[in-house]
Structure 1
Amino acid sequence: MDNMNTNMNKKSLYNYGLQNIDTANLYKGIFPYDEIPKIRFNNVQVPMDLPEKIWITDTTFRDGQQSMPPYTAEQIARIYDYLHQLDNNSGIIKQTEFFLYTEKDRKAVEMCMEKGYEFPQITSWIRANKEDFKLVKQMGIKETGMLMSCSDYHIFKKLNMSRKQAADMYISLVEEAFENGIVPRCHLEDITRADFYGFVVPFVSKLVELSKEAGIPVKIRACDTLGVGVSYQGVELPRSVPAIIHGLRYNCGVPSECIEWHGHNDFYSVVTNSTTSWLYGGSSVNTSLLGIGERTGNCPLESMIFEYAQLKGSTENMNLKIITEISDYFEKEFGYETPPRTPFVGSDFNVTRAGIHADGILKDEEIYNAFNTEKVLGRPIVIAVNQYSGLAGIAAWINTYYRLKEDMKIDKNDSRVHVIKEWVDEQYACGRTTIMRSDELENMVKLVMPEITEVAS
């Protein structure tokens, strides 16, 4: 069928057969191993096609948990509450996935199921074997992820199989899922180093064929396992995110709502690659809270909320202030230290130190703040006072720290601000190298302008 919006065929005219080669194709020209991977261009352009409906899924309890000390069932249930409160029945955080291997894992799933939340929906994750699949049936879960390594690095070197043997093994598990009325979510591990037309396209096309016969959708998760995906147009496969998403749709016939991207941040590209997967036709992006995950981490869930907001112009009725609560919970409960300059969740993400910036904020905070961080995240602008802050920085600190309204705001030319600046300058003249602490500044404000602290209290 033709897509009237793009005037392109939904299904490729070409039929790709599985190439059951004897020697692994490791793309050594792109991944030489002793050197940094290469980006090769072929100048093939594919069209952007942002789906009408896009959403976020979560892997905090699966990929995220693999990178942290094991969570208790109670901690998992509490984080699940946070995800639900953040989503606030918008359906933007559509699903989250769980391990099922231990008694603790299964208890956590049961605790979360008992809450009866519509969002995020509870799904599971298993390896590609039928023993794991028994756990899915026992728990009564309606959708499960299945690990399906698709690069020759994994098929030949890890599984010690041929491409056909791996495909047959995966297909048998999908068929069992269909027989039990369970939606299979096929995690195509290491797709950004896989032979796209020699393995991925014929394999996924077969899955789509089986899905139509069963009358049950099959979901495809494209996993950028080593974070080597590239978002630029005109890049050769297997690294091209646009070409992978486009190929899944037009060569394999996978609908947008059944395509999901799962990225890692090894090359600092995880957010851009995830957004690119949306832009080229995938509806779903897989994330974890605070980006916690294997090695450099997964795509931060909170970052994709802001990407969603910019693309769609709204966050529906999500409660974004819960992001701050989640960050605080991870710090207090697990001792997890978020780098202070991390966007949206770091302690210093909206802290201003430069005096010239503070002067701008003193005039109008919109000059140096892209959005109302206090209203959206419950995080007012913070002014850090140091040797470079000047009068404007100190006045701005007073106004933001005490949250003074317009008629009460202090001007940088106020003589009392000059008194505080002289004291600050003296501190640094005596060899101080750290920023002024809030309690120190607060004591000075109490001394020279006590009425401010009285109003604030």
Structure 2
Amino acid sequence: MFELNKRTNLLTSPEKNHLLEDRAEANMFREFFPYDEIPRVAFNDVHVPMTMQEKIYITDTTFRDGQQSRAPYTTEQIVDIYKMLHRLSGPNGIVQQSEFFLYSEKDRQAVYKCRELGYEFPQITSWIRASEKDFQLVKDMEINETGILVSCSDYHIFHKLHMKRSEAIEHYTKIVKQCIDKGIIPRCHFEDITRADIYKFVVPFARELMRISEETKMPIKIRACDTMGYGVSYPGAMIPRSVPGIMYALHQYAGVPHEWIEWHGHNDFYRAVANSTTAWLYGCNSVNCSLFGIGERTGNTPLEAMVMEYAQLKGTLDGMDTTVITELAEYFENVIGEKIPERTPFVGKNFNVTRAGIHADGLLKNEEIYNIFDTEKLLNRPVRVSISNTSGLAGIAHWINSNPDCSELKGIDKNDPLCISIKDWVDTQYEDGRTTVMSDEELEEYINHYLAQK
């Protein structure tokens, strides 16, 4: 038996095939998650179509999930970061939303001060506990949208909430209706979706939310949360771990409009960026990120990474100002005191620094040979080399030519006597047992001494 799907105008299996299964015991999907072994990825070779939307967005959780793994930001720091997110977002508001805690006076003051700036983007949203008191707080602060935690795996339903599946849905829908009654758009955070029963809980629950939405004429957004980082992007992988499968199920079987679907990933298995990009490719409207990936445990999807993914997929930055990424990194390190690992893409101290002499020689001949893009133009980060025993004359010449403090020597050739003198000195350092790279200060001091002797 088939029926006409009103969204696709195609004959499909009726949605009522995906009914709630009100189990007596939790389904822990032990075939995927044995716990005393590494989780498994299984394949059934079911492929779903890519359906990337014309408009896709980034949302920010720096002030929510990003504050759950470090010391809280001050109100002033939140405002400063929010201003930079606005500039990064650009005139088209690609960084569309930023979510805030509301529990402390500091958090609420940050919301007030950010709102006073009058920015359209990022839109200010909140994250609250599912309680009447918290809803009233959102209403009092005149915030139009809030996230609500609705855990959807049996790990949470049975072992944290101590409910049956039907009881969880009844509890969640009651909360959602309370939110709507106060005129607030609910964003339901489907926690732990990559360990959930997609067809026998997630789809029936999401379909019920869509029924409530149609009845109340209020959007109900769904954030698919890969809470433990189990999601995979592999074609033909089985749910619940398949990101394409989850996106397809939410839209095709539960009827959630693409523009109401959001992905929130964690990096426990190094897949946060790949999974977020895959969610976009398979119909998700927004991916939720935090700056530099700072978040619970291994962190969230890095926001700056998704800016670059956006540009690669769309062929344009759509007005985003990527030089702000460097400003944010400097702010985090110099003002907040957050140490960014030196090799972190786009923002680490050494992300576009080479130590290999043969690479430095290539950089001198043509920067594009060993630089990923024009990092000086796009990130205000000119390509650099560090000097060690492997840098060679080419590396030393490039270091001098790219160092703004050596501007009077710009254009120096690798065979210049100064470069040869520096190389001899560096080689002696390492022959005597040195193991660390030469610092900029050491090299500048040597150059100043050399020039003074001439």
TM-score range, shorter chain: over 0.9
The equivalent of 1:197 in structure 2 is 199
Counterpart position of 2:265: 263
Q: What is the rounded CA distance, in whole Å, between the counterparts of 2:13 and 2:161 in structure 1?
A: 31
Greater mean alpha carbon deviation, residues 35-44 or residues 81-90: 81-90
Q: Does 2:271 align with 1:302?
A: no
Give the counterpart letter for 2:336 in structure 1.
F
Q: Tell me the secondary structure at the aligned position of residue 67 of structure 1.
A: coil
Q: Is the 8 A contact 1:148 1:170 kept in 2?
A: yes
Task: Give the conservation status (yes or no) of the 8 Å contact 1:392–1:412.
Answer: yes
Q: How does 1:171-320 map to 2 (within 5 A)?
A: 171-320=173-322
Q: More displaced, 213-222 or 124-133?
A: 124-133
Question: 1:257 deviation in Å?
Answer: 0.9
Alignment CA distance shift 1:240-1:74 (3 Å)? same
The offset of 1:100, in angstroms, is 1.2
Q: Distance in 2 between matches of 1:449 and 1:250?
A: 71
Distance (Å, rounded) in 1 between the aligned partners of 2:413 and 2:428: 22
Residue 425 of structure 2 is matched in structure 1 by 423
In 1, distance between residues paired with 2:365 and 2:381?
A: 19
Change (3 A) 1:211 1:11: farther
Contact 1:9 1:250 in 2 (8 A): no
Aligned partner of 2:441 in structure 1 is 439
| Residues 12, 251 of structure 1: 8 Å contact kept | no
**Residue aligning to 1:43:** 45
1:108 to 103, 107, 110: 110
Identity of aligned residues (%): 58
CA distance in 2, matches of 1:240, 1:212: 28
Match of 1:14 in 2: 15
Q: Provide structure 1 residue ranges, at least 5 long, that are not aligned to the other structure.
A: 451-457
Q: Which structure 2 residue ranges, 5 or more long, are not aligned?
A: none
The change in CA–CA distance for 1:394 and 1:104 in structure 2 (over 3 A counts) is same
State the partner residue of 1:144: 146
State the distance in 2 between where 1:109 and 1:319 align.
Answer: 24
Give the corresponding residue for 2:54: 52
Amino acid corresponding to residue 15 of structure 2 in structure 1:
Y
Name the aligned partner's letter for residue 244 of structure 1.
I
Amino acid at match of 2:218: I
- Secondary structure of the 1:124 match is strand
In structure 2, relative to structure 1, the CA distance for the partners of 1:3 and 1:172 (3 Å cut) is: closer
Return the offset for 1:430: 1.6
Give the residue type in structure 2 aligned to 1:357: H
Q: String of CA shifts for 1:269-313, please: whole Å, max 9, x gaps.
A: 000000000000001000001110000000010000000010011
The question of whether the paired residues in 1 share the 8 Å contact of 2:187 and 2:223 is answered with yes
Instruction: Work out the CA distance in 2 between the residues paired with 1:282 and 1:121.
Output: 19
Cα deviation code 1:59-91 (max 9, x no counterpart)? 011100111112222221121112112113331
Q: Which residue pairs with 2:63 in the alignment?
A: 61
Say whether 1:124 aligns with 2:126: yes
- Describe the shift of the 1:294–1:8 C-alpha distance in structure 2 as closer, same or farther (beyond 3 A): farther
Q: Tell me the distance in 2 between the aligned counterparts of 1:375 and 1:275.
A: 25
Is residue 291–residue 302 contact of structure 2 (8 Å, CA) maintained in 1? yes
Paired letter, 2:197: D
Partners of 1:98 and 1:124 within 8 A in 2: yes
Tell me, yes or no, if the aligned pair for 2:227 and 2:265 is still in contact at 8 Å: yes
How many angstroms does 1:12 deviate by?
5.9
Q: Which amino acid aligns with 1:427?
A: Q
After superposition, the Cα gap between the structure-2 partners of 1:379 and 1:40, relative to the gap in structure 1 and judged at 3 Å, is same
Q: Provide the alpha-carbon RMSD of the alignment.
A: 2.1
Hey, what's the Cα distance between the residues in 2 that align with 1:141 and 1:105?
13
Q: Tell me how far apart the structure 2 counterparts of residues 427 and 440 of structure 1 sit (CA, whole Å).
A: 12
Q: Does the Cα contact within 8 Å between 2:400 and 2:410 map onto a contact in 1?
A: no
Q: How many residues align?
A: 449
Contact residue 258 and residue 283 of structure 2 kept, 8 A: yes
Asked if 1:412 is matched to 2:391, the reply is: no
- Which SS does the other structure have where 2:311 is aligned? helix
**Cα 1:310/1:154, change in 2 over 3 Å:** same
